[in-house]
Amino acid sequence: MDEGKSKNHLKVLRSKLKFIPSNNDLIEQWVVAVTGEADSCDIAMMRHVIWQVKRKLCGLPVEHHALVCIFGASGAGKSVAIQKLLEPITSVTIHQNMTVFNDQFSRRMFTSNYCMVFDEMGKAKQVDIDCLKNIITANPVEWRGIQSESIHSGQQNCTFIAASNIPLCERIKDTTSARRFWQLNCKEKLDWNAINSIDYLAMWRSVNENDSCPILDVLDQVRRVQERDLRVRDPIEEWIASCCRESDSQSGLTTSELFQIFKCWCSKNSVATAITIQKFSRDLPKSIKAIIPDVSPFHSHRGTEWPILVTEKLSSLQTL
């Protein structure tokens, strides 16, 4: 499609998708048909996907960019449900595998398409996570010219949606943050009567691209779910979740004592880690807050102590 035809096509598409209020929440109907529940965060996130696409079509800024993954068993119909959802924008949608994020020559696709679909998140393990998160929010995006050393840049117009039969946290293993991702959990049997009866053009029109970001009202809930379910725990957090709980005792364990117990746990469970006492000391407060939020340290003549009870503490110490 040449540039003139492309601009005209986008103008026609913007007109077709222009906001028209609806008496029915068609997005909620789709979410319930796919997941079996009217979860407020899921509904807000799917509204956000449509809002994000429409904003980018209109050249408007976007906040809280996200890649949404539809998770469920193989053969459940995830890809078909996504296909139905995206019917009004098929002309600006492309299917890819996730190695596109690593390919400096292919990134031009992020400027010429407005939705990119990943079926079963193929080759996700080969993706540079930092690069992926950067491109989700990038503006502009850069790519290399074929058979040249020249670097080109353009607007990053893509919104990303994926299907997977493996949980997102196992596809995208990132211990730092999951704020760029959301997972919808499919029920075993999707409600095809509902999915096939939805007016998808009316659904897209029902989202006002000039409104504020749709997830703002539930953002705190969204962040809690992302932290709890989507972000991969690091070894310290795994150890705390597996072996630690709050203690009612007036005494506690020092950071050094906890580090020695942590090292024993790593050895016993074949957890490969290069965490030093310095890094452990820096990360421990954040890790404890994430897993046991009510625990706070106190100071004694022994230094900083944590009111934590560690299971199998004695047997672990005996292996030192």
Which residue is associated with the tokens 């499919």? 186
DSSP designation for 145 = P
- Superfamily holding 3-230: P-loop containing nucleotide triphosphate hydrolases (3.40.50.300)
Q: Residues 135, 156: contact at Cβ < 8 Å?
A: yes
- The pLDDT value recorded for residue 143 is 87
Cis peptide before 88 (omega within 30 of 0): no
Q: Residues 192, 21: contact at Cβ < 8 Å?
A: no
- The pLDDT value recorded for residue 314 is 40
Closest of 135, 129, 130, 137 to residue 172, by C-alpha: 129
Per-residue pLDDT of the chain (320 residues; tens, 9 = 90+): 545 558 899 999 999 999 999 999 999 999 999 999 999 999 999 999 999 999 999 999 999 999 999 999 998 899 999 999 999 999 999 999 888 888 888 888 999 999 999 987 867 777 888 888 989 998 888 888 777 778 889 999 999 999 999 999 888 888 788 999 999 999 999 999 999 999 999 999 999 999 999 999 999 999 999 988 898 888 999 999 999 999 988 789 999 999 999 999 999 999 888 899 999 999 999 999 988 989 999 999 998 999 999 986 444 443 43
If DSSP codes are grouped into helix, strand and coil, which group holds residue 275?
coil
In angstroms, rounded to a whole number, what is the distance separating the alpha carbons of residues 106 and 100?
A: 6
Positions of CATH 3.40.50.300 in the chain: 3-230
Alpha helices in 209-276 (DSSP H): 219-225, 235-243, 255-268
In angstroms, rounded to a whole number, what is the distance separating the alpha carbons of residues 116 and 68?
A: 11
115-118/93-96 β-pairing: parallel
The two structure tokens encoding residue 184: 């919808």
Closest of 185, 282, 182 to residue 234, by C-alpha: 282
DSSP designation for 93 = E
In angstroms, rounded to a whole number, what is the distance separating the alpha carbons of residues 35 and 43?
A: 10
Closest of 65, 172, 170, 71 to residue 128, by C-alpha: 172
Q: What CATH number belongs to 235-317? A: 1.10.10.10
- The pLDDT value recorded for residue 195 is 98
Relative orientation angle of helices 277-291 and 255-268, to the nearest 10 degrees: 90
- The pLDDT value recorded for residue 282 is 95
Positions of CATH 1.10.10.10 in the chain: 235-317
- The pLDDT value recorded for residue 3 is 54
Burial letters 224-233, b for 16+ CB under 10 A, else e:
ebbeeebbeb
- The pLDDT value recorded for residue 46 is 99
The two structure tokens encoding residue 241: 């979740």
Length of the chain: 320
In angstroms, rounded to a whole number, what is the distance separating the alpha carbons of residues 28 and 36?
A: 10
